Structure 1
Amino acid sequence: MKKILIIFLSLWGYCTAGGVLLLQIYNEEFLDGRSPVGYLASEKLDGIRGIWDGVALKTRQNKPILAPQCWTQHLPPFGLDGELWIKRGAFEETASIVLSQNQDCQKWQKITYQIFDVPNCGADNNHKRFIAPSNAPNPPTHTDKNPKSPYCTLTQRLQIIKDYLITHADTPIHIIPQIPLQSISQLQNMLEKITKNAGEGVVIRKNDAPYEEIRSKNALKLKAYQDAECKITAYTEGKGRFKGKVGAIICAQILPITPNASSNATPSTISNANLESTPSPALNTIGASQNPAKSDKKPAVITFKIGSGLSEDFRANPPKIGTIITYKYNGTTKNGFPKFARFLRVYQE
């Protein structure tokens, strides 16, 4: 029991964060009136979260990102929130540059800063970060729907960085397009298009909501698959052309993962799109390495194998035991094991 608690706490530490906006799993019930009208949708990029406070760049866990001065000199003197990103399918390359201790200007030229929010806009006693940046160009102080509100809409917040870019073209900053939603079918089509082009998913945000330093029901994420994290406990050796290399990962999971998507949680028109699980102390993969005990109770800790999705480089140079990885899957078995799990990437804070 003590061992289980220790593992749980270690996993909980890497997956929690404070002081930044975090996304909730999509649920139609979270939408006002169960309608997407008044919400903005954008592509969910597979990059590294980057928080710029006007002086330094940090991860969502408040750890420093050692971006070179040749790159940060083009950023504004006010806060930004976004993804450090190269292109779809380039997460590992992005991570190798962004999380490196070597401040290589040439490599950082590949990195774009994809902005989805400007946190410091407006003012409210209960939200200390809603203070208009003094050097932002004409920051708005009200919402479109309620002129007396102290909050800025998402559209207004992004206008601050749009105004900045008018006179600062030489910058790695790009603004992630925000598409106003009118219907669930529009959201479905957007998800299908992004997934078809190897994108990760869709982010749905309430335009008339402030930047919240919590996991907010006003900011949702939707994917065509579920994903979760697990801790590598061992490797199995491959066979055939993989002999002498990694054949599969053996991973440990503690808390139950998100089961099959529920039609009550998703729009009927997206009923075949499984929702992703929260990046919490949950862990999963493609096949179970051990069968749970024959009992009505699911084990507190289960292990299983992940053999799909591993690159040649990963098989030849696997990360150390204890590394946290993210994998994707499609529902679970009745015993709580992930189905069709495949490796996605090494987890990054």
Structure 2
Amino acid sequence: MLARRALLALLGSVGLPAAALEPLLARNAPPGIDPRPYLVSEKFDGVRALWDGKTLKFRSGRSVAVPAWFLAELPSQPLDGELWMGRRSFDALSATVRRTQPVDAEWRLISYRVFELPAGEGDFERRAAKLATLAGGVVMPVQQQRLNSNAELRALLKQVVDAGGEGLMLHRADAPLASGRSDLLLKLKPVADAEAVVVGHEPGSGRFAGQLGALEVRTPEGIRFKLGTGFSEAQRRDPPPIGSIVTYRYRDLTPGGKPRFASFLRVAEAF
């Protein structure tokens, strides 16, 4: 909760909407976690989208430009999930959902992988069971399963990653509805990732002269560090602007909380 407040304050300081953090957001799972209290699912590399029964919106609160036929296949009750085009297809998906005029042929490749009922009753296990009854058309409830040991969890992680997936999500089966960054929802990936706000640009030198050398970023906890790797040539020429939220990968944390071997992954998909 404190981390969420810190990031909300930081977003406010750079003029970004607090609405971007209203859904439940995951923390990183510890390596030796016991999965038995959780329902486990694949982590889909998609774009978060919230359906209020009438309008489909990004995490930022901005409406998604969606074909009428796609909206017609959504139920009247609110849903939370990911727009998804398939494994390793994030860039194509991002380009599609950002368009102000939807391209029908592109949207035919997208499904809505739903994992929460924002107005549902009971704990998450009960809400997930209700979600499973809503399958049809573009709506595809995320498959949840119980695992009995960390060894089973690691085996499933390897299976998903080997098939091109990002990782796994662990949602407390007894969790009430919640919002913001929380231990009720965890992500497990071969390499950890997190989000930070861009607070500065460091100019490049040598072959990067006249381009971006590194981003200076700040975490929700107020820790500042630099991201100097992971950028494409286009991103070095036109870097994420100050105030934007970026996702970075890292191996582990120093005793002071700084990420080790951090590299830029992408601009966060709040849109």
The normalised TM-score by structure 1 is: 0.63
Q: 2:209 and 2:73 mapped to 1: Cα distance? A: 48
- Cα shift readout 1:36-76 (whole Å, capped 9, x = no counterpart): 33532111122111111221111234332222213212212
Going from structure 1 to structure 2, the CA distance change for 1:311 and 1:183 (only over 3 Å counts) comes to: same
Alignment of 1:224-243 (within 5 A): 224-228=190-194, 229-231=196-198, 233-237=200-204, 239-240=206-207
Q: 2:111 and 2:166 mapped to 1: Cα distance? A: 17
Q: State the match for 1:326 in structure 2.
A: 247
Query: Displacement, 1:339?
Result: 1.8
Q: 2:223 and 2:146 mapped to 1: Cα distance? A: 43
Root-mean-square deviation (CA), in Å?
Answer: 3.4
Give yes or no for contact 2:198–2:241 (8 Å, CA) kept in 1. Answer: no
Structure with max Cα Rg: 1
**2:21 aligns to what SS in structure 1?**
coil
Going from structure 1 to structure 2, the CA distance change for 1:323 and 1:216 (only over 3 Å counts) comes to: closer
Equivalent in 231, 239, 243 of residue 310 of structure 1: 231
Unaligned runs of 5+ in 1: 1-5, 122-129, 131-148, 166-170, 256-280, 283-299
Amino acid at match of 2:143: P
Query: Displacement, 1:187?
Result: 0.9
The normalised TM-score by structure 2 is: 0.78
Judging by fraction of residues, say which structure has more strand: 2
Q: State the match for 2:13 in structure 1.
A: 10
**1:194 aligns to what SS in structure 2?**
helix
Q: State the match for 1:104 in structure 2.
A: 103
Q: 1:249 and 1:22 mapped to 2: Cα distance? A: 27
Q: 1:151 and 1:90 mapped to 2: Cα distance? A: 29
**1:343 aligns to what SS in structure 2?**
strand
**2:259 aligns to what SS in structure 1?**
coil
Equivalent in 250, 257, 260 of residue 215 of structure 2: 250
Amino acid at match of 1:233: G
Q: State the match for 2:126 in structure 1.
A: 153
Q: State the match for 2:178 in structure 1.
A: 212
> How many matched pairs?
261
Give yes or no for contact 2:28–2:193 (8 Å, CA) kept in 1. Answer: no
Q: 1:317 and 1:151 mapped to 2: Cα distance? A: 42
